[in-house]
Amino acid sequence: MSVERLSETENTAIANFREYLRIPSVHPNINYDECVSFLRRQASTLGLPIQVYHVVEGKPIVVITWRGSEPTLPSILLNSHMDVFPTSNVSLLHNLCLYLFVFK
């Protein structure tokens, strides 16, 4: 069995993901400032424009735009969130998902 080596791009992606996961963003004390700073650095590294909207105070909306080269193709919107729930709630969440699956 051969071991497949990761490319430099894949290693960078994994390192970036790990860095992002280390940002304290657990409810109810979410560190949005550090999350936004991380996303700003990533956008800058890629040369992408970034906009931060403050529709609700303390809950920023970050938009990073990556323009395609073929305007006739449809657009893609990727969406995510910056906060997570404490691991102490994992069993509660698991039970809720199981309940919804079984009794749907």
Domain boundary assignment for the chain: 8-102
One-letter amino acid of 6: L
What's the mean pLDDT in 46-70?
93
1: confidence class by pLDDT, cuts 50, 70, 90: very low
Higher pLDDT, 18 or 84: 18
Which tens digit of pLDDT belongs to each residue from 5-49? 778 888 888 899 999 988 888 877 788 999 999 999 999 999 999
> Could you give the CA distance from residue 23 to residue 38 in angstroms, rounded to a whole number?
9
Nearest alpha carbon to residue 50 among 34, 66, 35: 66
Q: DSSP label at 3?
A: P
Contact 60, 51 (CB under 8 A): no
Q: Rounded mean pLDDT of 48-73? A: 93
CATH class entry, domain 8-102: alpha beta
